[in-house]
Amino acid sequence: MPGTDPYVYIILIAAAIWSYATGKLTLAGSLTGAFIGYILFKGGGLPSFVMLTFFFTAGSAATKWQRGKKALMNAEDNHKGRRTAKQVLANGGVAALLAVLAGLLPEYSSLAKLMIAGSFAAATADTLSSELGTVYGRRFYNIITLKKDTRGLDGVVSLEGTLIGTLGAAAIAAIYSIGFGWNERFLIIIIGGFTGNVVDSVLGAWLERKGLIGNNVVNFLNTLTGAIICIALNNVL
């Protein structure tokens, strides 16, 4: 969108400074986040940049929400301290690569932007479901065994958290649709976000608990799943 570039750059610089000053990101994490934002804007357009902004702000707010209560439940261990560049890449790396693809291969730009939305839908669903589900969930189950389990552990889900995460995916789908048009892709993105969130929980219960993979790998595969599901459904519907 013509004329928006200076405003986006100001937002990126301000966000990087704010993220570091408030202790949310390390210096490297702040710079990495700003660089990903730049790539998304140039390759994926303003809607893709807005998706990143929504994911970051909603995720930060959800992480901070009732932190004292989470601490009492031992459910905030994964989010203590500043987030690093690796954590930023785990959540935004797939989207950044797709934005580069959209810029280099304009003929695939539409599909790449859909996949960007799917990756952010999955990331948003995961963050909101885990952070807010821990607070508002009533019954918690291991996603693989479906037996009751301890809230806050890897792979433990609740109905309330899953619904909240799905609403987060719907918000990303709405941003995409406002920017690129309303059609069946709205539902496709929600499904992509939901599926990525489920895969995240399965990997958490199956591999992360055993120490075979770390949270960054789980998050990367979560976003990758959201992107793949979107392009797969787009080819079917």
Which whole-number Å values give the CA distances from 218 to 55, 148, 179, 204, 236, in the listed order?
Answer: 17, 22, 29, 7, 27
Q: Identify the band that residue 74 occupies on the pLDDT scale cut at 50, 70 and 90.
A: low
Q: Give the pLDDT of residue 162.
A: 97
Closest CA to 113 of 178, 29, 32, 200: 178
More confident residue, 101 or 64: 101
Q: Is the pLDDT of residue 24 over 70?
A: yes
**pLDDT tens-digit readout, 188-205:** 999 999 999 999 999 999
Q: Which residues are bridge partners to 141 per DSSP?
A: 148, 157
